Amino acid sequence: MTEITSRRELRPRAPEGAVVKHVRASRDLRRLAFARADGDAPGIYLEELASGAPPALVCGEDVPIEGAGFSADGAYVAYVVGSEQPYGRERTVGWANDAAEGELGRVGGAAFAWTPKGSLIVADLEQEALIQYDPLTAVSRVIMPLCDAGDTALPPRIAVSPKGKRIAVVCRRSEDAVTEVWIAERDGGAIKSSILTQVPGLDPHVCPFWSPKGLTLGLLIVHPTHAKSAGIAVRRLRGDGEILHERELLDAPEPPAWAPSSDAIALFTADGVAEGGEIGPQRLALIHCRTRELRPLAGPRIPVGSPAFLDGATLLVDGGIAATVLTFDAPP
């Protein structure tokens, strides 16, 4: 049975009293990016962990920072600058690679993801398109059309397959009150897009995640209205998908991570109930794909975030108030 043998927590060197959010670690664990949401010095910061130097401000903003994320090689960090309106298209995506140079680019966008080769994929609601950018030159190309309701609490979600061949996009179509999952895929020199599935309603959280070979798409669906959660695997992007787990509790709406072995999936699951349809207390767990056993991991609670396997036995969880590195006694 897989157990956690070590745990290391990476916290930014922020001043006492600072409100820190969206802590992200580069995959080589050399850099942290995070947002400060307090009134003293809001914005996005970068910290070089080995240098011992204090974090450096990359981009100062007095509006909400809604997320951050490193490119695969850790050279760039991108972030979403939010809107104070509950609905709208005013959000933007910025990126940088060094605090001394400041921000390298800023474009319209409600969500982003990095490709394995370092291109930035942005969901631009104003242009109604999924757009790919070169972070160095800002040269862009449209990947596919995109229609979304523009709810700032439920922005589009983007997941790029491990080899970068496929992109899954979750968006919401208000006129038909459905949440849609689309797939963009390279076909020779062209890119084709097609709808994979629809989920009734505009309020479910649908979190896409890819299998290690990029052939199967996982979907974590958290439905506040019905107080239910489910994990689904769409094998080779065909059919309705198989249910891996289903619960009458609200799991954290964070994309799960498939282990490199393909035998297990790491995700946060509810082990308690909150009032008013809110997300309750969560615990990191593993789903064993063959048996479909859902097993919460023992030990102290880990701050809720986005899990990602760094190798077969090392799991990074970040995106919340800290980044946590977990080592297992055997590959899950």
Cα gap 285→294, rounded to integer Å = 7
Decide: 77 and 33 in contact? Cβ < 8 Å. yes
Extract the tokens encoding 322.
């800290």
pLDDT number for residue 86: 60
Range of the domain at 214: 13-249
Q: What is the CATH number of the domain that holds 44?
A: 2.130.10.10
Q: CA–CA distance from 11 to each of 25, 55, 309 (Å)?
A: 10, 11, 19
Cα gap 279→44, rounded to integer Å = 26
Cα gap 22→318, rounded to integer Å = 8
| DSSP-derived secondary structure letter, 206 | E
Amino acid occupying residue 68: A
pLDDT number for residue 101: 76
- 216: which residues sit within 8 A by CB, 6+ positions away? 210, 233, 234, 235, 236, 237
281 occurs within a structural domain:
no
Number of alpha carbons in the 13 Å side-chain half-sphere of residue 158 = 27
Using DSSP, state whether 183 is helix, strand or coil: strand
278 occurs within a structural domain:
no
Number of alpha carbons in the 13 Å side-chain half-sphere of residue 243 = 6
40 occurs within a structural domain:
yes
204 occurs within a structural domain:
yes
pLDDT per position in the chain (332 positions), as tens? 689 999 999 999 999 999 999 999 999 999 999 999 888 889 999 999 999 889 999 988 777 888 899 999 999 999 999 866 666 667 899 999 977 778 899 999 999 999 999 999 999 999 999 999 999 999 999 999 999 998 888 999 999 999 999 999 999 999 999 999 999 998 877 899 999 999 999 999 999 999 999 999 999 999 988 889 999 999 999 988 999 999 999 999 999 999 999 999 999 999 877 666 567 799 999 999 999 999 999 888 898 999 999 999 999 999 999 999 999 999 99
Q: Cα-Cα-Cα-Cα dihedral of 122, 125, 127, 132, to 10°?
A: 10
**Closest CA relative to residue 206, chosen from 157, 149, 153:** 157
282 occurs within a structural domain:
no
Extract the tokens encoding 99.
């605090």
55 occurs within a structural domain:
yes
305 occurs within a structural domain:
no
pTM to 2 decimals? 0.94
Q: Where are the alpha helices (DSSP H) in the chain?
A: none
211 occurs within a structural domain:
yes
Using DSSP, state whether 331 is helix, strand or coil: coil
Number of domains in the chain: 1
